[in-house]
Chains A and B, each alone.
Chain A
């Protein structure tokens, strides 16, 4: 018990936990993107898919949501406590300080992370719990006698507003920066850095971030073009 506690309070243990909790979200983002592709199949298919997630396999979804929430809370908590300690480790700043690091995204992690957290909160409020028109309630539809949330029109209404889509694109640029650095950073923290594979890990991180962010962003643009300006 002492050993585990010591590990979880050590600088390296916490950093590894940070990488691990981040990795959990990498997996989730891919699943989320694949789900969103369903909107290309039209309103009924997409709403049926949402209904399936929320009702038919709720036993699977609820634990997943719990894991995601616990991961992100741990991730945020660690980010805050580690940075506070780092401030304390250098109380007096240098008069002049140059950066020679090639890791530019690493300096943005705190900023991009904070923006992403705000986004996630708004996003969940809009889509998981209510209507997307900020304050609207979730509309419903009935297919074959089953009433369900009309996620499709909820989403289309949101993305028909240009400012909503534009904000979304900005957020995904930030997410790209966070994911691209986070991927290789997690590998490093978990102890994997190998001259043969690390270039591949870095490239994979960029590719994955591009896939995820490009995917979500193009769906947003697609949705905007469907009903652009006519909510």
Chain B
């Protein structure tokens, strides 16, 4: 298969950036999207040109490192898939493919397709955890969790923090990411003691980081490689409302 690629190239954070045309030839349909890019890069290196910078790590859809806007869709045309698990058979021979980085002021572009997602780390650091004393492991089943609750918590816990929700959202809002974490812990007994504090702290960090405001477009749900539902956003709204208006917990200064 052969493809024409239009790729966003940007030297560094301060560069203006522009699209560049490349051609990918002799691509096998069973290659992953990233392997196709690897081949293009090999050619660029052979020609002594700067290879296209993009991120990847596990390449098996579980780490959330890879992130590209492909033909206007976060992680490309397949639903419930990361870029590394997207295969070239999803495209037609001769297609022109447009590849862009995530675009959001909270995710500044570092180079080409690589963006800085440390805003997500700071949100997690603000409250996306439980405080537990270390010690010997507890016996199994000392804390009972109803199955539907643990299933829902697991659905939310699938979030890999890739940022596709922000990228796909017309408002560049990080609500699905924050909701996944808040809802995951709010469904479990271990998450209860700190739930008000957590919702207040994480939302406050999210607002501070410059993400947009959710307007219930639900593009995030459609783009999420882990298919996390916007039901969790409603849960976050509820947790936050209750924490802000009903609990005695004060918001961070």
Residues of A contacting B6 in the complex (Cβ-Cβ under 8 angstroms) = 95
Query: Looking across the interface, which residue of chain A has its beta carbon closest to that of B232?
Result: A193
13 contacts between A and B (CB under 8 A): A7-B244, A11-B213, A12-B236, A14-B213, A89-B106, A90-B103, A95-B19, A95-B72, A102-B218, A106-B217, A188-B230, A191-B238, A198-B231
Contacting residue for A101 out of B204, B219, B239, CB 8 A: B219
Against A, the Cβ 8 Å flags (1 = close, 0 = not) of B1-40 are 0000010100000000001000000000000000000000
Asked if A6 and B204 make an inter-chain contact with CB atoms under 8 angstroms apart, the answer reads yes
Contacting residue for B237 out of A95, A102, A109, A191, CB 8 A: A191
Additional A-B contacts beyond A99-B219, A189-B214 (13; CB < 8 A): A10-B203, A11-B175, A11-B214, A82-B213, A86-B170, A88-B212, A94-B103, A95-B8, A97-B69, A98-B71, A188-B216, A191-B237, A192-B238
**B contacts with A: majority SS:** mixed
A23 CB to nearest B CB, Å: 14
Query: Looking across the interface, which residue of chain B has its beta carbon closest to that of A193?
Result: B234
Asked if A93 and B103 make an inter-chain contact with CB atoms under 8 angstroms apart, the answer reads yes
Contacting residue for A11 out of B103, B203, B231, B245, CB 8 A: B203
Query: For chain B residues 25-76, which have a beta carbon within 8 Å of chain A?
Result: 69, 71-73
B138 at the A interface (CB under 8 A): no
B11 CB to nearest A CB, Å: 16
B201 CB to nearest A CB, Å: 11
**Complex: A3 Cα to B79 Cα, angstroms:** 40
Contacts A2-B250, A11-B214 given; does A90 touch B71 at CB 8 Å: no
Residues of B contacting A2 in the complex (Cβ-Cβ under 8 angstroms) = 250-251, 253
**Complex: A82 Cα to B250 Cα, angstroms:** 24
Query: Looking across the interface, which residue of chain B has its beta carbon closest to that of A184?
Result: B216
Against B, the Cβ 8 Å flags (1 = close, 0 = not) of A165-193 are 00000000000000000000101111111
Contacting residue for A189 out of B79, B216, B253, CB 8 A: B216
**Interface band, chain B:** 35 or more
Asked if B171 and A96 make an inter-chain contact with CB atoms under 8 angstroms apart, the answer reads no
B87 at the A interface (CB under 8 A): no
Query: Looking across the interface, which residue of chain A has its beta carbon closest to that of B249?
Result: A3
Contacting residue for A15 out of B172, B213, B242, B253, CB 8 A: B213
Contacts A2-B251, A90-B212, A109-B215 given; does A10 touch B244 at CB 8 Å: yes
A85 at the B interface (CB under 8 A): yes
A4 CB to nearest B CB, Å: 8
Instruction: Enumerate chain A interface residues (CB-CB to B < 8 A).
Output: 2-4, 6-7, 10-16, 82, 85-86, 88-103, 106-107, 109, 185, 187-195, 198
Ranked 9 nearest A-B pairs via Cβ: A191-B238, A193-B234, A89-B212, A96-B72, A100-B222, A86-B171, A89-B172, A7-B244, A86-B212
Instruction: Enumerate chain B interface residues (CB-CB to A < 8 A).
Output: 6, 8, 19, 69, 71-73, 79, 98, 100, 103-106, 168, 170-173, 175, 203-204, 206-207, 210-219, 222-223, 230-231, 233-242, 244-245, 250-251, 253
Asked if B237 and A12 make an inter-chain contact with CB atoms under 8 angstroms apart, the answer reads yes
**Complex: A204 Cα to B106 Cα, angstroms:** 37
Residues of A contacting B19 in the complex (Cβ-Cβ under 8 angstroms) = 95
Contacting residue for B204 out of A10, A86, A99, CB 8 A: A10
Residues of A contacting B73 in the complex (Cβ-Cβ under 8 angstroms) = 98, 100
Contacts A94-B100, A101-B217 given; does A10 touch B240 at CB 8 Å: yes
Residues of B contacting A194 in the complex (Cβ-Cβ under 8 angstroms) = 231
Contacting residue for A96 out of B98, B175, B245, B251, CB 8 A: B98
Asked if B171 and A90 make an inter-chain contact with CB atoms under 8 angstroms apart, the answer reads yes
